[in-house]
Amino acid sequence: MSGERKVRLGVIGSGKGSNFVALAQACRDAKLPAEIAVVLSDVAESGILKHAVDFGLPARFIAPGPFRTKLDESAESNYVTALREARVDLVVLAGFMRILKGGFLAAFPRRVINIHPALLPAFPGLASWKQALDHGVKVTGCTVHWVDQGIDTGRIIAQQAVPVLDGDTAETLHERIQQAERVLYPQTIGELIRKGVVKVAVA
């Protein structure tokens, strides 16, 4: 019976959820042949969870445990369980500020993607728009990539260039990159589905 349902996305984020909103709109407007099955966050008061509720989507805070930059083992297991219960075909990181370890990635082999606000391999890590501005580049952008255990090191799926303009501040540049992300992320996930790279795992 595979193929009778849409590809199910599990979105995980820590922040305001601008990429999530773009994905939810694209699914709702049938521009992206997928549905969002669940939205998870490690931040109880995050914008992404509020937006998920506004879209009428299942949304859950799952406590991350005591560490600042990763999930502890039981938290990781809770995330995996929630995604599996939601029968998620693709895990979509959207501003999730923690590193995923091998246990999580082994549960979703080649089914976890992320978007990073720079043209990787340039400027991995935090606040990459500020790194780019400080370095003085004239072109930066955003990158959709498979997630591996490194920090922004996974294989690149798609990239979009974004110009740095005279007079840009970290804020104006970040906003311009985020505008590009909100187009690139739904478009790239759509292409992965249409090409059959991402497909319905369990009918």
138 binds a second copy (CB under 8 A): yes
Select which of 116, 135, 145, 174 is catalytic: 116
Name every residue whose Cβ is closer than 8 Å to that of residue 168 and which is 6 or more positions away in sequence.
Answer: 133, 176
Q: 């909103």: which residue's tokens?
A: 21
Pairing of strands 7-13, 34-41: parallel
Vertex 42, ends 72 and 113: CA angle to 5°?
85
Q: Which is nearer to a second copy, 97 or 122 (CB)?
A: 122
**Cα separation, 82 vs 95, whole angstroms:** 18
**Cα separation, 101 vs 90, whole angstroms:** 17
| Tokens encoding 24 | 């939810």
Q: Which of 97, 156, 170, 201 binds a second copy (CB under 8 A)?
A: 156
Closest CB 153 distance from a second copy, rounded Å: 10
121 binds a second copy (CB under 8 A): yes
Q: Which of 44, 139, 151, 183 binds a second copy (CB under 8 A)?
A: 139
122 binds a second copy (CB under 8 A): yes
136 binds a second copy (CB under 8 A): yes
Q: Which is nearer to a second copy, 69 or 169 (CB)?
A: 169
Closest CB 38 distance from a second copy, rounded Å: 29
Helices (H), the chain: 18-28, 47-54, 73-85, 102-107, 128-135, 170-194
How many other C-beta atoms are found inside a 10 Å radius of the C-beta of residue 66? 7
158 binds a second copy (CB under 8 A): yes
Q: Which of 119, 133, 180, 192 binds a second copy (CB under 8 A)?
A: 119
**Cis link prior to 64 (omega < 30° from 0)?**
no
Establish whether 116 is a catalytic residue.
yes
Q: Which stretch binds a second copy (CB under 8 A): 14-22, 38-46, 50-58, 117-125?
A: 117-125
Q: Which stretch binds a second copy (CB under 8 A): 41-49, 99-107, 149-157, 171-179?
A: 149-157
- The residue ranges that bind a second copy (CB under 8 A) are 119-122, 135-139, 141, 143, 155-161
Name the residues annotated as catalytic: 116
